Amino acid sequence: MGGEEKDNEVTKGAKDLYSGTGPRGDRWGKNREGEWREPEPHFAKFLETYKDQIGPRVLDIGCGPARHIIPLVKEGLDVTGVDINKNLLADAKTRLKQENLQAKLIHGDHHHLRFPDASFDSAVCVQTAQINDEQGAKDTWGEMARVVKPGDLFSLEPGPQTNITQ
């Protein structure tokens, strides 16, 4: 499994940001309406393009209020969502219940994923990896690559203007 969670400056910054206590926390941690309810357009295109190649076990890193989990589960995939923000996970649980859908939701840090190597067929990481310094980005990308089976698929969208698919 990944390394032990250490509360370094990157992790602390992510916790502050997504919990609503950091300098941009009101936008990310407290305002969970509007744009946070619908999947990113790049993600919708990714899902449509690769839906026959995704899964069956999918990890959503930085899952927030389940905006990407819901369409994945509707495709019949076994989805696990991980997020550092307990409030966003509570929102995800509520939204899944409202839709009569099921997914595993785990409180955790994307720098130190607590899953065995190659435990997922696919992973998505939308607007999560950008909350890093250089080392934090390397840790996040390394963890994503570690938990996805070699040769399988993941979608990474570090920010609203970028989409990387491998």
The predicted pLDDT at position 121 comes to 94
The predicted pLDDT at position 32 comes to 45
Q: In the predicted model, what is the mean pLDDT of the chain?
A: 77
- With tokens 């250490």, the residue in question is 6
Give the SS3 label for residue 112: coil
The predicted pLDDT at position 141 comes to 84
Most confident option among 10-14, 119-123, 148-152: 119-123
What interhelical angle do 9-19 and 134-147 show, nearest 10?
80
Cis peptide before 56 (omega within 30 of 0): yes
The predicted pLDDT at position 152 comes to 75
Would you say 56 and 79 are in contact if contact means Cβ atoms under 8 Å apart? no
Tens digit of pLDDT for each residue in 106-141? Answer: 999 888 999 999 999 999 888 776 666 778 778 888
* Confidence band for 39, pLDDT divided at 50, 70 and 90: confident
CATH 3.30.2320.50 fits 9-165, yes or no: no
Higher pLDDT, 14 or 77: 77
Closest CA to 60 of 151, 163, 147: 147
158's CB contacts (< 8 A; 6+ apart) are: 127, 129, 130, 164
Mean predicted confidence (pLDDT) in 101-108: 97
Give the SS3 label for residue 145: helix
Tokens read off for 135: 């080392």
The predicted pLDDT at position 3 comes to 43
Give the SS3 label for residue 140: helix
The predicted pLDDT at position 134 comes to 77
Tens digit of pLDDT for each residue in 82-100? Answer: 998 899 899 999 999 999 9
Mean predicted confidence (pLDDT) in 60-89: 93
| Predicted confidence (pLDDT) at residue 155 exceeds the cutoff of 80 | no
